[in-house]
Amino acid sequence: MTTRRADAAGGQESVGSRIRRLRTERGLTQRELAEPQYSRAFLAAVEGGVRNPGDRLLAHVAQRLGVDPDDLRHGRPPGAATAMADALQEARRALSQGKIAHAEEMFARICTDATGYALPDLACWATYWLGESRLQAGDLPRRWLQCTSGGRRVAQQPQAPSGGDSAKILLA
């Protein structure tokens, strides 16, 4: 479904590296991206990993780059949250049509991806529906394990700032 970019060292791309990559892809200089609210030197420090960007800088940079601030912060591809919400709806349809194995596979993938992209609402709903698919398959022990371990895993995630729209979308 979605993939995360790795940096040159093979680890996850930092916010500063992500800003630099997007800035250079768009042909902008540090000065063009930073000003008028921030200095070129401050943006250079963020891109170099010397300074951590605050919410206001991320909002400014994201707006100038044409991306969502949370996507920039968490390294999500553009539209990843919407794509996962759509995939969750598709998996729910598959479950309602009796395609239990296919739905279970989709719910598990969505849960993994949503957890990796700091989308706790989607991860929680995917975990819930994964448990429901196991219940429909008659696998009560795995259903119980899914509900108890999934809740702890989602609760341990850092809360991503969001408008809470994913829960509204999924309940509709």
Q: What is the pLDDT of residues 56-79, one digit of tens each?
A: 999 999 999 988 888 888 888 888
What pLDDT, on a 0 to 100 scale, did the predictor assign at position 150? 53
Say how far apart CA 91 and CA 102 lie, in whole Å. 8
- The answer to whether residues 136 and 107 touch, using CB atoms and an 8 Å cutoff, is no
For the chain, what is the mean pLDDT? 79
pTM of structure: 0.62
81-110 mean pLDDT: 94
What is the per-residue pLDDT for 57?
93
Dihedral pair phi/psi, residue 48, rounded to 5°: -80, -5
Contact in structure between 58 and 69 (CB atoms under 8 Å): yes
Class at the top of the CATH hierarchy for domain 15-74: mainly alpha
- The residue ranking higher by pLDDT, 19 or 11, is 19
Residue-level pLDDT at 7 = 41
Instruction: Give the angle subtended at the CA of 158 by the CAs of 153 and 161, to the nearest 5°.
Output: 130
* Spatial distance between the Cα atoms of 92 and 144, rounded to a whole number of angstroms: 19
Helix (H) or strand (E) holding 87: helix 80-96
Residue-wise pLDDT for 12-44, tens only, equals 778 899 899 999 999 999 999 998 999 999 999
pLDDT higher at 169 or 120: 120
The angle at the Cα of 112, spanning 67 to 90, to the nearest 5 degrees, equals: 80
Asked whether residue 159 carries a pLDDT value surpassing 60, the answer given is no
- Domain borders along the chain are 15-74, 80-171
